[in-house]
Amino acid sequence: MYKTIAYQGVQGAYSEQACKNAYGQYNTIACDTFHEAMWMVEQEDADLAMIPLENSTAGRVEEIYRLIPKMSLHVIGEYFEPVTHCLLALPNAKLENLKYVASHPQALAQCHNNIISLGLKAEAKLDTAGAAKELIELQDTQRAAIASKLAADIYELQIIKENFEDSHGNTTRFFILSKEKSVPIYNPEKKYITSLVFQVKNIPASLYRVLGGFAMNGINLLKIESYMGNEMLQGSQFHVDIDGHIDSEVLRLALKEVSFFAEDVRILGIYKSHRHQEAEYII
């Protein structure tokens, strides 16, 4: 039986493209929401979930930071997917006849200058792949969509222009989630990330002291995000990505100090840094 990986969006979404690039032999499962994609893994209806965490242009996906503390899944990896927008149209459409272009608002914003240069009227849709799919339904040669090359292949659309974004280098970082915990064996020669969430204790300067525990042990924090917890909690929760493996001595010492000033500390996952291990994610 083939393994499966769930994602949020319709067929041809950038999340599906990330699934295919990272786990080429897995069957992809489209889900309406992020929660549904995670739930499928929790219920063992999918082996993995590919969930976007942040984008280099649009910033963090805030909903994910609210869902992660509630889930019982483990982060087993990260994956970075370059976002390359394509201007798509029906097979018999011509560039000079196009009048409208549809896509997700973020994609429209990232292609704003090119849209203006072609004199197209932008129309906001719920997602990029959905806009591509709609072209087939409307059968209007005056309409175009901004979506992925995968969407063009799936819906048999013509790529009018590739690399349609105004500036290149836009990248989305994904978490790879699994019901089964998987921790790589520590090798001091390799790069790892430890992701955790915690709630600071309700005492003065508690966050300062938590961060000091990392600083005094020479631990590099790759990112820290804060968000309000549930109604039962009196303070903010924090998500931290740490440069290091939990089996390293310095990180063990740092987490001992953190425990004095933080509570509900939960390790989300320990995994290899994708920036240094791209090839190992191709299954």
Give residue 74's identity as a one-letter amino acid code.
Answer: H
**242 vs 155: CA distance, rounded Å:** 41
Q: Is 194 a catalytic residue?
A: no
Catalytic hit among 34, 164, 174, 198: 174
Count of C-beta atoms within a 10 Å radius of residue 191: 14
Is the separation of the CB atoms in 12 and 154 below 8 Å?
A: yes
Tokens 């869902």 label which residue? Answer: 67
Q: Is 34 a catalytic residue?
A: no
Q: Residue 176: name the closest of 277, 75, 43 by CA.
A: 75
Local structure of 214: helix, strand or coil:
helix
Residue 101, CA distances (Å) to 23, 112, 125, 166 in order: 31, 11, 10, 15
Catalytic hit among 172, 194, 238, 261: 172
Supply the residues annotated as catalytic: 172, 174
